Amino acid sequence: MNDAMSKHAEGDRPTSIPADPSQWSDQSKQSVAFHFRRDYSDKPYTCWRCGAACVFTAQDQKYTYEVKKASIDQSRKHCPACWSESHQLRAAMVHNETRWASEKSTLQTDREFLSGWLDLLTRWKEFEPYRQDVAKINMLRGLLGLK
């Protein structure tokens, strides 16, 4: 077995692969890790939302940091299913914000729209509890008479 790659006993997927920090984003190249990180190793984690046991694989890390150019300080906190659901939820919230910006005068009395948007913002707490848009939540609650 090659020293640059260690492998799972149950398969041939490498659990550690060489890193190429020259491929990182400009921001990541400014980090301390740029001078020390020479490989990626599988990192087990627990999904913050559902509690599933997951692994941020060495291959996923290489793709995330070297191809997508994500910050080297980024780590996973959601399993693939919860991550996908969070992106769908985010897209729906952006859609509502776009509609609100162009149709505010008619939407401010559309209870179905307002309730749906409030539901999305409330569900978002499951994914990002520290990034709540309290002003929008309060505005929607006020328009719905829920204060």
Residue 56 CA to residue 45 CA, distance in Å, equals: 7
13 pLDDT band, cuts 50/70/90, is confident
* Residues found in the chain: 147
Three-class DSSP category at 79: coil
Q: Mean pLDDT across the stretch 85-105?
A: 97
Q: At 7, is the pLDDT very low, low, confident or very high (cuts 50, 70, 90)?
A: very low
For residues 103 and 4, the model is more confident at: 103
Average pLDDT over residues 103-121: 97
Mean pLDDT of the chain: 90
Sign of the CA dihedral running 5, 8, 14, 19: negative
CB proximity list for 29: less than 8 A, separation 6 or greater: 21, 22
Contact 91, 46 (CB under 8 A): no
| Model pLDDT, residue 68 | 96
pLDDT exceeds 60 at position 5: no
pLDDT of residue 147: 74
In this prediction the pTM is 0.74
Predicted pLDDT of residue 10? 45
Tens-digit pLDDT profile for residues 52-91: 999 999 999 999 999 999 999 988 999 999 999 999 999 9
Pairing between β-strand 43-46 and β-strand 14-18 as defined by DSSP bridges: unpaired
What is the distance between the alpha carbons of residues 58 and 48, in angstroms, rounded to a whole number? 20
